[in-house]
């Protein structure tokens, strides 16, 4: 999570131009916990940047990922989601409403140690995805039954 000044500096340093679209897309990602996909970002920014196209979203996302400002989340849907928190952390998706939440302060080290013992791969990263029913959907379901 960087402020606009730092993002500006980083983009320039990496040889990319600083445009309002790029700042807006990064800013939108910093100000949500919803892990939006490209279309959700597009819809969110539409009122403020009515001429911006989806192609710009995709290209900006690729640049932000390349310079380490965001990470890509693949929770097994038909589209990818994006996250301005770049530290690796597990995610959980509601199998009813498809919302995606963070699981923070998860200690990967026991799992990594476990895997390092079992494989001769040179490990470089991991992604953990959990599935379940979110509190809101649990509430709705118990209402329907009664």
Partner DNA sequence: AGTTTGTTGATAATAACTATTAATTAAAAA
Partner DNA sequence: TTTTTAATTAATAGTTATTATCAACAAACT
Q: Which spans of this chain sit near Mn ion (rule: CB under 5 A)? A: 83, 102
Contact with Zn ion (CB under 5 A): which of 27, 94, 102, 129? 94
* DSSP strand pairing (91-94 vs 81-83): unpaired
Signed CA dihedral, 50, 51, 52, 53: sign only:
positive
Could you count the other beta carbons within 10 Å of the beta carbon of residue 111?
12
| Interacting positions 27-66 with DNA (CB under 7 A) | 37-39, 49, 51-56, 58-60, 62-63
How far is C-alpha 123 from the chain's CA centre? 22
Q: How far is the CB of 21 from DNA (least distance, A)?
A: 4
Binding part of the chain for a copy of itself, among 29-37, 41-49, 61-69, 114-122 by CB under 8 A, reads 114-122
| Interacting positions 1-30 with DNA (CB under 7 A) | 8, 12, 15-22
Q: How many residues bind a copy of itself (CB under 8 A)?
A: 35
Residue with tokens 């390092």: 116
Tokens at 4, concatenated: 């606009």
Could you count the other beta carbons within 10 Å of the beta carbon of residue 128?
13
Residues at the interface with DNA (CB under 7 A):
8, 12, 15-22, 37-39, 49, 51-56, 58-60, 62-63, 78-80
């Amino acid at each position: 999570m960087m402020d606009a000044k730092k993002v500006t500096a980083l983009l320039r340093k990496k040889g990319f131009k600083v445009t309002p679209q790029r700042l807006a897309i990064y800013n939108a990602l910093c100000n949500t916990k919803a892990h939006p996909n490209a279309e959700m970002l597009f819809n969110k920014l539409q009122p403020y940047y009515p001429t911006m196209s989806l192609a710009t979203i995709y290209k900006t996302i690729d640049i932000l990922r390349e310079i380490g400002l965001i990470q890509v989340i693949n929770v097994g849907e038909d589209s990818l989601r994006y996250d301005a928190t770049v530290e690796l952390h597990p995610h959980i998706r509601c199998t009813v409403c498809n919302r995606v939440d963070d699981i923070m302060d998860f200690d990967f080290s026991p799992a990594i140690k476990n895997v390092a013992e079992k494989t001769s791969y040179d490990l470089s990263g991991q992604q953990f995805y959990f599935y379940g029913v979110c509190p809101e959907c649990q509430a709705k379901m118990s209402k329907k039954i009664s």
